[in-house]
Structure 1
Amino acid sequence: MRFYILICLTMVAFAANSLLNRVAVDYGYIDPESFAVIRVASGALMLIALARFKGANLTWLEPRRGLGALALALYMIGFSTAYLTLPAGLGALILFGVVQISIFVIAAFLKAAPTLRQIVGAVIAFGGLVVIVNPSATVSVDLQGAGLMALAGLGWAVYTITGRYEPDALAGTAANFVLALPLTMAVPFLTDAPHDISAPGLLLAALSGAFASGLGYALWYSLLPKLTPSTAAILMLSVPVLALAGGVLLLGEVLHLRYLGGAVLVLGGLTLSFLKPRT
């Protein structure tokens, strides 16, 4: 039971990131690139402090460290900049679609291919996500934005797979955040958009980084060795549903019947993926 509670807390932390990002950027408190930089920096500070408090030994020169940090930076950079030109719904579909496909393919190479039940469950859950975001056929797709979001999905997939081999979840996540920070800080210099930071924007980005990202990602790394790659990928499809629920409860967003139908499909797909066949 404790394991499933921790999974739920992790998914809630991921959804909280979405809500904090949405409020900070959509309400004009901060620009996306600055949000990403502060998010990674505050996450690094929180994780380093906790790692030092626990006496954890941070390692910097291992292959998985470089891969994890690069994947994290790729996710942060792609996610932050893609939404400058992509609608939220289309961005979510590209992100989670690429995450699913990438993890399934990588898992197959690692001899941990998804079962037929997991594939069917993933298809049902992703179908629910399509219903929720309801992408319009008239929306024009910005190829650069779509490419950046696809890179973000690939980055998160690699980051998730790498976490399965992390012996110390807290120390590994702390080192990843520190090494990813210089790459993320380069993002504001690559765009022509204005960079405005207000006090509420700074606070929201710091909360996202220190708690929802830093602690959430460390908890995710602690759970990954106990999950198959395919199960981890399918679990991520619950994040948009939780973010939607948070938007309704905390931001006063309207709950449409379509959302409920999509949520049922997502949760149904997750349940099917987790069910164990009777013997």
Structure 2
Amino acid sequence: MTSLLRLCVYVMFALLAFAANSVLCRLALNDGLIDSAQFTTWRLLSGAVTLVFLCACQSVKLQRNDLKATWREGSWLSAVALFVYALGFSYAYVTLETGTGALILFGAVQLTLVVLAVRAGQQLVGLEWLGLAIAFAGFVYLVLPTLSSPSLLGFVLMTLAGMAWGLYTWRGKISAKPLFATTSNFVRTIPMLLVALVVVYLNSEQAPSAQLEGIILAVTSGAMMSGLGYAIWYAVLPYLSASIAAVLQLLVPIIATIGGVVFANESITLHLIIATLSVLGGVLLVIIARKRTSKNA
């Protein structure tokens, strides 16, 4: 397999993994196979185990100092952002369809990254402001009071999840070892997961239960689509420009929508198509304008 072909295969797997997270979560929650808190717990736990294994494969002879260095690559702020993303993601998909949730998530991620870039001192040109306005208009249109609009609570939760993932992605840029940082952050979410489960259990009239199929879907989402998917994505990022990587991620909501139709018997509405074109088109304008600005700098 040539290097270019291998790169294309890895990129496609990573994008499919991102979209599959939405489909797996929707299938598990929509069919009542597991509750949101337990889905999040199994997902992050299995992701942490997978990432620890991948780190061990990179450093076969892990010494005590290596473990400390791996732990220090992460941070509690990044872990909190990861936890908020995963929990908001799971609870949002109780009411959102697959494609709608993925659109809100990745739209919020890209817009959050733009806001963080501006906060860091980057100046926006006219085309970027136009793109932001179009994307924001798409979000507004998505939640207009029509029969095909998502629930307001689901929209808010998924937006918060996207903002958290955007912050997590932004902070990941400062890490020299993204895989080890991701592993450390996943492991740091474990105490947060335990607290969340206790809170859910104390506020439930009956003990939370999960079917085996729901646990399998959650573990698949965590181990393969999150752990392995993130690892592969980080591996290919050095070979992609920032603009290409951003554009490729805009394919995820489209792939997720198709997955929702095929696996969850969901329908594609004109309302969703218009909102998708507006949000993704606006973000694409921002990316194009940013690339032009960097070339002229």
SS of the residue corresponding to residue 173 of structure 1 reads: helix
Aligned to 2:31: 27
**What does 1:63-82 correspond to in 2, within 5 Å?**
64-82=74-92
**Structure 1 residues 200 and 26, CA, compared in 2 at 3 Å: closer, same or farther?**
same
| Structure 1 residue 82: Cα displacement | 4.8
Q: 1:152 aligns with which of 161, 165, 182?
A: 161
Question: 2:36·2:87 contact (CA, 8 Å) conserved in 1?
Answer: no
Q: How many residues align?
A: 274
SS of the residue corresponding to residue 32 of structure 2 reads: coil
**Structure 1 residues 128 and 94, CA, compared in 2 at 3 Å: closer, same or farther?**
closer
Aligned to 1:104: 114
**What does 1:199-218 correspond to in 2, within 5 Å?**
199-218=212-231
**TM-score between the two structures when normalised by the length of structure 1:** 0.77
SS of the residue corresponding to residue 186 of structure 1 reads: helix
Question: 2:19·2:102 contact (CA, 8 Å) conserved in 1?
Answer: no
Question: 1:25·1:31 contact (CA, 8 Å) conserved in 2?
Answer: yes
**Structure 1 residues 69 and 102, CA, compared in 2 at 3 Å: closer, same or farther?**
same
Paired amino acid for 2:170: I
Paired amino acid for 2:257: L
| Structure 1 residue 116: Cα displacement | 4.0
Q: 2:127 aligns with which of 108, 112, 117?
A: 117
Aligned to 1:166: 175
Larger CA deviation: 183-192 vs 1-10:
1-10
| Structure 1 residue 106: Cα displacement | 1.6
d(CA) in 2 for partners of 1:28, 1:107: 40
**What does 1:130-149 correspond to in 2, within 5 Å?**
135-136=144-145, 141-142=152-153, 148-149=157-158
Aligned to 2:188: 179
**Structure 1 residues 208 and 231, CA, compared in 2 at 3 Å: closer, same or farther?**
same
1:45 aligns with 2:49: yes
d(CA) in 1 for partners of 2:237, 2:81: 16
d(CA) in 2 for partners of 1:4, 1:115: 32
Larger CA deviation: 235-244 vs 167-176:
235-244
Larger CA deviation: 166-175 vs 92-101:
92-101
d(CA) in 2 for partners of 1:122, 1:69: 28
Question: 1:67·1:162 contact (CA, 8 Å) conserved in 2?
Answer: no
**Structure 1 residues 7 and 269, CA, compared in 2 at 3 Å: closer, same or farther?**
farther
**TM-score between the two structures when normalised by the length of structure 2:** 0.73
Paired amino acid for 2:22: S
Q: Deviations over 1:241-275 (max 9, x none)?
A: 22111112333333344444455445544554444
Paired amino acid for 1:172: A
Aligned to 1:14: 18
**Structure 1 residues 63 and 121, CA, compared in 2 at 3 Å: closer, same or farther?**
same
Q: Gaps spanning 5+ residues in structure 1: where?
A: none
SS of the residue corresponding to residue 215 of structure 1 reads: helix
Q: Gaps spanning 5+ residues in structure 2: where?
A: 61-65
Paired amino acid for 2:218: A
**Structure 1 residues 274 and 82, CA, compared in 2 at 3 Å: closer, same or farther?**
closer
d(CA) in 1 for partners of 2:218, 2:209: 13
d(CA) in 1 for partners of 2:132, 2:13: 21
Q: Deviations over 1:71-95 (max 9, x none)?
A: 11121223334555x5558866765
| Structure 1 residue 111: Cα displacement | 2.9
Q: 2:198 aligns with which of 189, 192, 196?
A: 189
